[in-house]
Structures are given as C-alpha cells and as structure tokens.
Chain A
C-alpha cells in the first residue's frame, strides 16, 4: 500500500515506507521488555528495598511489618567492625585478586590464540579452534568437578609436577596466599607493622596483599581455561573484519609483522578488546557457580566471593538485608569498573601528538 512512495529516506516519521514502523517496533521489543521488566527490573527494585529493610525472610518484604532501616545493612558489612564486615572484606580481597589476574590473562590468551589460528595458511585450524573452544561449552559445574579432580592431592596436576620434582599442594585445601608464599620463599613471613596493624574492612593490609590463596589460584586457572575459547571466537570474528588493504599497504612500506599487528590490527580490534575486557570484568566479579559447586568458600574463607557471600548470607543465614546490601555493593563495583573501562577505551579524536606521527614528514619517506 505504500509502494507508490518514491522518496524513502526523507519525509516525516509516519509517511512513506516507514509507515507503521513505530507500532511494529514496539510490538517487536515488547516480549523482551516484559520479561526483562518482570524478572530483572522489578526484582532489582525489590532487592534494593530489601537491602534497606529488616525483612527476615518470612512473608512478603512489601508487607507492613517490614521496616525501613536506612543504611544499617550497608553499615554492617562496611563499618560494623564485626564478622559481617570482615567476611565482606575477605570476599573483596579474594575477588580483587581473582579479577586482577583473570581479566588480563584471559584477554591476552584469547587474543593470542585467535591470532595463531586465524592464519589462512594454517593446516588443521578447525581442529585447533575446536580444541581451544571446547572447554567453553562445558558447564561451570562440570568443569569444577573436573578441576577438583585434576587439582586434588593425587590428581593430574600434582602428578605432572612430580615429574620435575615438585611436591604439589592439596590445592583446594590450601588457604595460604601465593604472594605470602613467595615472600616466605625468601624468608619473609611477617609483614611490617605498617601493614599488619592497619585494617581495611576488618582485614589487615598484610592480608589484603597475601595474594589469591592456592585454592583460589586453581579457580583462576580454571577461569582462564574456560573463557579463553569464547573470547578467542570474538577475536577471530573481529580479525576477519580487519581490512587487508591497510595491512598490505603497510607491508609495501616495509612494516614487519609485529609493527603491522601493533599499529594496524590492534587499533582496529579496540571495540572487541572493550567487549572482552568488559565481559571479563562483569563475569569475574560475579563468580558463584564454581564456589557453590566446589569449595563453598573454603578453605579458611579464601574462596568466598561477594556473590557467594551474598547468597550465603540470605539463603543460609537468613540475613536478607545484609545479603542484598552485599549484592548492591557488588553491583556498584561492577558498574564502576565498567565505566572506567569504557572511559579508558573510548573512541578518542586523534591527539595532536599522535596525528603528528602520521603526517608526511619532509625528510623521511
């Protein structure tokens, strides 16, 4: 019925071949909005309310018997001075080390794998891609069980370590931090007073700097193992979109492989790197399944993550307000890092200093 219109692009919103689009658009997005609203937005608002309330888990949190307690729940986990604060501090310590190690490792490894298998001349690249991607398809529950076995006292990892004369630890039972262990290796077993006497969130700075425990390190390796394949696929897709013309032109100019990668390919991969780092951060901060399946926070709470702590506070200890408060603090942290990351990788106008590098210089060709 709109076939006679011949000027499609211009014209007002409700004329031409754009007629009816608004209605269709809303109908198309309606299911998504309804489901996201009902199972994401409303729950978030309810959780927000619960985090400011003294709801005990009985009845509806919206009923009249539930009181508004302000920031009490938040205070309990951040300044309370009690076990709740210390647990929260420990969980933050754990997850900070986890993210600090996992995100760079998984990003670098997945990019490295993608570059390796993206070569057109490579034989068997389907096989290699499959091999690297396969761990990503398995569930975190299944892979955690496999990991518990591989890293057990008599497991594969320790058997391999035994070849080179190392007697491996009972990984998932070992609460000592790897930085502390390394320091102990050079004879330092107690920290300076400045570190041991200063507490942040009920955890001394010396403990903050302990590094991930041996148990948490096994989880870190697992995360890198299971995510590198997925992110490799994202990088492969991006690499295939990188224009070859620019690379060929620079090859003519005598740029070597590394220069081409660093100056031509990598800048074009920026959006993908952004995606990978952001997804890595978001995923890293919320580790839950592995802890639930594997260690339940042990040994000595060194694998407690904020996500697990939040679940445990609410569902096990019935401290719903506290659990929700932890969840929201976690939420804020994730948003904070996502924003920082977005800012750091934003599309910048080319700076003068940078632009100068590309200007044609009189003396050199």
Chain B
C-alpha cells in the first residue's frame, strides 16, 4: 500500500515539474511584456516587474501597424476555417462512405499531397497566384488554404469509425447522399469537426510562409509576417524584448481562447457515436 502511495507521489511530482517547464516560459513572457527594457535584460526570471509599464503595448497599438495585422489575420482565419470545415468533411465523407470509381485514386492523391513539403511550393505558388491574377489579394491568402489534406484524412477516418447502420435507416427512407451527410452524419461528427475547426483556425492564424509568397503589400500583412519582421528589429532598436514579447503574446491570445473554449471537446475526440 505504501509503495502504491509513494508511486502516486512520484507521479504527481513528475507531472508538476513537467507542467512548470511547459508553463513557465509563458508566465515569463507575460511578465516581461510589462517590464522596462533594462529590467527585461537584467532580471529575466522574475515574474513580477519592479516597475510595471504599458509602454510595449502602447507602442504596438498606437505607433505601429499592429492593429492592421491583427485585422488581416482575423479576416483570413475566419474565411479559411469556415471553408475548410465544409470542404474537408464533404470530401472525407465521400472517401469514407460513397462508392464511386476513382475513389481509391483520389484518396491516394490526397495522401500523396500530404507528403509534398509546403516549401517545395513556395517558389511556384506565387507564380500560379500571379498567373491567375490574384497575387497580393485576400483571395491569394485564403483560397490555397481552404483545403487541407490532413483534414480530409481525419474526417475520413472519423466517418469510417461510425457504424454504417446509422446511415442505412436514412438511406432506406430515401434520403439523398447530401441529406444523409448533412443531417445524419455531420451532427455525429461534432468531435471531429471541432478538431478540424481548431486545426484550421490554428493553422491559418499561425501560417507564415504562404503569406510571405502570396502578398507583398503592407496593407495585407498578417500578424505572423508583421511580428516576424519585428523580430528582425524593424520597429525596435536593439533587443527590446518587452515589445516583441507583447506582440507575440497578443498574437497567441485568440488561439489560446479558442483552445480553452473547446478544450473539453478536444480532449475527448474519441467519444460519441455508437459503441458496442
């Protein structure tokens, strides 16, 4: 019994240490964003600034394009997420359940595409965007991100895990493929859909390389592009960690909120549907 207890204590101690390692950097980040430059350099570890200053935030919001970057990231992310959830689950359902010639080939294509390194595409992507006349527009930022092979894969796997019996009744009642998909299967797929929403929100909000090659106008700069340019010292002289960390922090907030809202569901993606 005591061996069991000491095992428990060891487990919790291990978990707490690991949790501290994972969380502490972000606490330091929050604290540093309220520090003066000199304190950020002289006392990196402290979680409580000696002199609390909002200078970093003031600079970001009143003397930089930060609000514009934020707006651009918001527009792109919402458009991409809505489109992706719909297209990816449609395709995932078709590949999992609908029988049609060429299905195997299409699935192989989607899986194959997953292996194509995004960086292979950097060079010609902007050419294609140029060729079809949408380079340096919102369309160039949004359209290529609307579909994600990994999402198709996830949805296909999920739909395959649902017993066929659920759809058969609807089919026997005469519902068409889209109706079965929309009213019967999709509502059941909520856990998987939320996974897709999280992944596309996160993916498009955090996307950098695509935006680098799809746009050049300062008006279309997203947070990732803008903040990356901060890192190389565009706005600030020298290190100026408080400004950079404040920018990175604000950029993290929307995905963090998203995560906390859906947290319960992310963690239980395998529950639901029919069991046994």
**B116 with A116: CB separation less than 8 A:** no
Instruction: Tell me how many residues of B have a C-beta within 8 Å of chain A.
Output: 100
Residues of the A chain whose Cβ atoms lie less than 8 Å from the Cβ of B110: 32, 36
**A156 with B28: CB separation less than 8 A:** yes
A146 within 8 A of B: yes
Q: Smallest distance from the beta carbon of A161 to chain B beta carbons, Å?
A: 11
Cross-chain contact of A137 among B11, B181, B259, B267 (Cβ < 8 A): B259
Of chain B, the residue at the smallest CB distance from A116 is B15
Q: Smallest distance from the beta carbon of B137 to chain A beta carbons, Å?
A: 14
Q: Using an 8 Å CB-CB cutoff, how does the interface string of A138-168 with B read, 1 for contact, 0 for none?
A: 1111111110111010111001100000000
**B128 with A38: CB separation less than 8 A:** yes
Of chain B, the residue at the smallest CB distance from A117 is B15
CA distance A39 to B113 in the complex (A): 11
B88 within 8 A of A: yes
A217 within 8 A of B: no
**A50 with B116: CB separation less than 8 A:** no
Of chain A, the residue at the smallest CB distance from B40 is A149
**A138 with B23: CB separation less than 8 A:** no
Residues of the A chain whose Cβ atoms lie less than 8 Å from the Cβ of B224: 139, 141, 289
> Number of contacts between A and B (CB, 8 Å)?
299
Residues of the A chain whose Cβ atoms lie less than 8 Å from the Cβ of B11: 116, 119, 122
**B127 with A286: CB separation less than 8 A:** no
Asked if A31 meets B91 with Cβ closer than 8 Å, knowing A50-B124, A139-B208, A146-B245, the reply is yes
Q: Smallest distance from the beta carbon of A142 to chain B beta carbons, Å?
A: 4
Residues of the B chain whose Cβ atoms lie less than 8 Å from the Cβ of A106: none
Q: Smallest distance from the beta carbon of A175 to chain B beta carbons, Å?
A: 19
**B143 with A282: CB separation less than 8 A:** no
Residues of the B chain whose Cβ atoms lie less than 8 Å from the Cβ of A251: none
Asked if A289 meets B209 with Cβ closer than 8 Å, knowing A141-B227, A331-B116, A338-B115, the reply is yes
**A130 with B263: CB separation less than 8 A:** yes
A243 within 8 A of B: no
Of chain B, the residue at the smallest CB distance from A45 is B124
CA distance A289 to B99 in the complex (A): 40
Cross-chain contact of A134 among B26, B172, B174 (Cβ < 8 A): B26
Could you show 10 A-B contacts with beta carbons less than 8 Å apart? A26-B100, A28-B178, A43-B128, A47-B120, A47-B123, A159-B44, A289-B224, A310-B122, A315-B123, A331-B120
Top 8 A-B pairs, shortest CB-CB distance: A139-B206, A24-B177, A25-B100, A28-B94, A25-B98, A142-B248, A22-B100, A39-B144
Q: Which residues of A contact B (CB under 8 A)?
A: 1-3, 8, 13, 17-18, 20-26, 28-29, 31-33, 35-36, 38-44, 46-47, 50, 60-61, 113, 116-117, 119, 122, 126-135, 137-146, 148-150, 152, 154-156, 159-160, 225, 229, 233, 236-237, 240-241, 282, 285-286, 288-289, 292-294, 296, 306-307, 310-311, 314-315, 320, 323-324, 327-328, 330-331, 334-335, 338
Known: A233-B269, A293-B232. 6 other contacts (CB 8 A): A22-B101, A32-B90, A141-B231, A149-B241, A293-B231, A324-B123
